[in-house]
Structure 1
């Protein structure tokens, strides 16, 4: 009896899973016609990001780094699987109970989707269509599961002999064919639609066809010797493919540059709207700038250095005419993210804050903000580096706040002086009588004055600094250490141009950036 109940539950769970696959498959298919962002899976994922406490987000980034979105989808997949099993079992046990579960989940998805800043009423269609498909699968699957159980029961009681056994076989095949074919079709349709939603050859071709203008002001030349010849050290200029990506967008916004505009509104005398064509026609400037994520842990890799092409934000704000009393610019894009940037950081002529269109000699990669983003030296990205930016609202810190501020992060986010050991890696075994301990240090918009290395509990030794490109970029450093055999611990600290030396006190990234000395253990 217990075995029979267990088998019945497995069948019911299979019905629920088939229904869930139908929901997702049909929803993704309809989203192709409506908008990629109207997918219920992405809508719920975005809502989960918005509602998650800061400590959960910090833990996800600490555990998974730039794979945090993949981890989120895995978690969502597990939740969907659990709800699907629950709905299937509930529906078979009591009619309409599983449908009620499915309807409740669909309602949550609708709320998640329709509350997105860029959503329209049409964005409800994928969820509605998917839910109707799921309800149909749930109902038909329930009937076939019950028919199979009933046929087996008749055969077990000997009521129909060979005929009952034959009926059980027919019911079994009917159930398996329905659940199997429905699930397979939903997966094929869903995956195909997801691929279509995630990218299009036409969109890729548009970006590839863009030819960025030559800068009216070229980047400062990289000094001779700025790139040290030390195996394992980070490259001075981070390749686009290796540049870190941290944002709240589960799906990269795909913005047609021919329809993109930037609005400058708020406390301004002359509100402006700028098209992509008009932006490219301006005298663009090129600057090499290091940017970092506030979630970067001590020794972490959520930092990169690139050559950016764009137009000075201060010039755009001057065209708009900033009103007296404003002290913040709230930037936003289609992913729902906002950043509150101190106005003085954007208007300071000594700070090369850009509305950037290019990265390392090509149009911005899609995942890094195409067609335009903000780059502001000296500030963590959460208050400055808005990607896919479409709006700059001049306002006050007293009247508005960026996405992360109400979630426990500080409002202004200046970069902290930091350093990292790239080589040797922790746990490495290195050979040689002399070992190069090397890495990078940064104090964006302040400049690095010196780097010191301590091996074991010895004296701090002054490392050799490579020439810096500018105060807005990281700098490479190296120390030739006379090795002794055995295990060793190395730590590093930097001193910036203001005289500040990194504190040994360890602090997590929240609320305004991690502190501490990066330490590695290796064996010589």
Structure 2
């Protein structure tokens, strides 16, 4: 069999393996799909600097890049397995077994994994072996249709050394003892490949349907939001300056940043969802989604920010949230006095450690079910997530939350803490220039400089702008309904003259703290420095 044909056999056998594994994962657990468990393990084993590089380089596409990379590696390995199988089928089966062992090991290391999580891998490997055997045999026709060496008559004459061999001379195929003579069959290969692709496609499509995504989407769309017991007040006039290119006061759901470790968004049916609150409490609680929506719900305008946000970065957004107060639920459970941490768990096993005193100090810490007037998007935690003003998301904003353990920082660690990040992550006062963009070419004359600033649960009191390291000038601030949201700001009378100019911004919060000029990285507890852009006026 030619190498290209053997590689195709390996690729299609690999596709069958993945299709069947997806089908079984749909029956068992969608997150047990082998590509995902291997990808998740790669994320967990990667050093923090590599994760930060991926977020910085690829942004919210980092998961697509990782899964694409895993898929490319698997495709290359499958092609190699096909080539090995063309030489000896046992070699191909051994290659699939090795990949299966890696997949089983990865599946068993996932949080809360059991033997059932290995079934998609095992079923996929078995299907891959069957497909590899059948495709290899179909590509090799029976020896009865193959040219035979001459029998009887004069012995075959070989050309003299250095002479060319005549085209009509047939050499017998190499045979091993006990084997039939077989030759490459293009038609058999083509029909076999088409059949394998069909099996892979049907199995994969069935797996996708069984994973429950369609049902969850339907449940989300059909959810009627309860009327809040404590609605948020109207947004004050002047909260949104409505300047083209400036971030709006409320970030549309479709534009709200997403940074998490979930390679596939958990599909959680609200009918099956429960939240378990346990640990250092007097009365453990388990809430269903029906229980949650019956509670007195609160609306709150809160800006969220990711600790991975570089100075001037995009991972910050403001929304109106609807949910139950987390502090009320915790009081019902009877939190013990020596507890100081909430260890929350996502549906995909990710963990988050939140300072208990922050949640209980009266701020609008919510178990949110809605965002900007609609049920939470699946990407942002449907059916329920945590929202805690003033803390970076890695210590507060658990999406798809299913469990909260009341505990202590000296007893438990969340996902990011052993990876070098601070256990507590209060958001640092920051500001960003939205207009003009860095690298922009401007016309001379009066030019608008505008952006947003945030200091959640403290509030922004002032924003200052300077050009070319000149004097700091006070920007005009938009209104803000609470200290938990960002504020727009604008300086609309800069007289831009021809040349290259550097613009910088800094904010001062309500405690009197002004942003430091010292530039630090996002790790271990958030970046610092002044956002700086360079523009050209001509």
Identify the residue that residue 264 of structure 1 maps to in structure 2. Answer: 277
Pick aligned residue for 1:173 from 172, 187, 207: 187
Identify the residue that residue 365 of structure 1 maps to in structure 2. Answer: 377
Cα deviation code 1:162-192 (max 9, x no counterpart): xxxxx9997222223323442x324522552
Relative to structure 1, the CA distance from residue 292 to residue 106 in structure 2 (aligned partners, 3 Å threshold; closer, same or farther) is same
The count of aligned residue pairs is 511
Identify the residue that residue 515 of structure 1 maps to in structure 2. Answer: 528
2:449 alignment partner, SS class: strand
Cα deviation code 1:206-259 (max 9, x no counterpart): 222221211111113311111013110001001111111111112222222222
Deviates more, 1:91-100 or 1:383-392: 91-100
Pick aligned residue for 2:443 from 431, 434, 447: 431
- Bigger Rg over Cα: 2
Listed as ranges, the matches of 1:485-524 within 5 Å are 485-524=498-537
1:348 alignment partner, SS class: coil
Listed as ranges, the matches of 1:201-220 within 5 Å are 201-220=214-233
Relative to structure 1, the CA distance from residue 148 to residue 505 in structure 2 (aligned partners, 3 Å threshold; closer, same or farther) is farther
Identify the residue that residue 13 of structure 1 maps to in structure 2. Answer: 7
Alpha-carbon distance, 1:409 to partner: 0.7
Cα deviation code 1:137-166 (max 9, x no counterpart): 2223444556699999979774389xxxxx
Cα deviation code 1:283-318 (max 9, x no counterpart): 111110001111111111111100011111111111
Alignment of 1:45 with 2:45, yes or no, is no
Whether the 8 Å CA contact 1:30–1:126 is kept in 2: the answer is: yes
Relative to structure 1, the CA distance from residue 49 to residue 186 in structure 2 (aligned partners, 3 Å threshold; closer, same or farther) is farther
Cα deviation code 1:64-108 (max 9, x no counterpart): 111111111111112112211222223333442222221111122
Identify the residue that residue 446 of structure 1 maps to in structure 2. Answer: 458
Relative to structure 1, the CA distance from residue 63 to residue 197 in structure 2 (aligned partners, 3 Å threshold; closer, same or farther) is farther
Whether the 8 Å CA contact 2:323–2:369 is kept in 1: the answer is: yes
Q: What are the ranges of 5 or more consecutive residues in structure 2 without an aligned counterpart? A: 150-166, 173-180
Cα deviation code 1:96-131 (max 9, x no counterpart): 222222111112212322443354533333222211
2:442 alignment partner, SS class: coil
Distance 1:64 1:149 in 2: 53
Distance 2:49 2:210 in 1: 31
Pick aligned residue for 2:422 from 410, 428, 433: 410
Relative to structure 1, the CA distance from residue 153 to residue 503 in structure 2 (aligned partners, 3 Å threshold; closer, same or farther) is farther
Whether the 8 Å CA contact 1:24–1:186 is kept in 2: the answer is: no
Pick aligned residue for 1:401 from 409, 413, 438: 413
Alpha-carbon distance, 1:477 to partner: 0.5
Deviates more, 1:405-414 or 1:133-142: 133-142
Q: What are the ranges of 5 or more consecutive residues in structure 1 without an aligned counterpart? A: 1-6, 162-166
Alpha-carbon distance, 1:393 to partner: 0.5
Relative to structure 1, the CA distance from residue 147 to residue 344 in structure 2 (aligned partners, 3 Å threshold; closer, same or farther) is same
Identify the residue that residue 155 of structure 2 maps to in structure 1. Answer: none
Alignment of 1:470 with 2:479, yes or no, is no
Structure number with the higher helix fraction is 1
Relative to structure 1, the CA distance from residue 131 to residue 145 in structure 2 (aligned partners, 3 Å threshold; closer, same or farther) is same
1:378 alignment partner, SS class: coil
1:96 alignment partner, SS class: helix
Identify the residue that residue 100 of structure 2 maps to in structure 1. Answer: 106
2:469 alignment partner, SS class: coil
Q: Give the TM-score of the pair, scaled to structure 1.
A: 0.92
Distance 2:127 2:145 in 1: 27
Distance 2:85 2:476 in 1: 70
Whether the 8 Å CA contact 2:517–2:529 is kept in 1: the answer is: yes
Q: Give the TM-score of the pair, scaled to structure 2.
A: 0.89
Alpha-carbon distance, 1:432 to partner: 5.5
Cα deviation code 1:463-519 (max 9, x no counterpart): 111112211111000112111123322121111122222222222211111112112
Identify the residue that residue 36 of structure 1 maps to in structure 2. Answer: 30
RMSD (Å), alpha carbons: 2.4
Whether the 8 Å CA contact 2:31–2:348 is kept in 1: the answer is: no
Identify the residue that residue 4 of structure 1 maps to in structure 2. Answer: none
Distance 2:79 2:389 in 1: 50
Whether the 8 Å CA contact 2:237–2:479 is kept in 1: the answer is: yes
Distance 2:395 2:337 in 1: 22
Relative to structure 1, the CA distance from residue 419 to residue 199 in structure 2 (aligned partners, 3 Å threshold; closer, same or farther) is farther
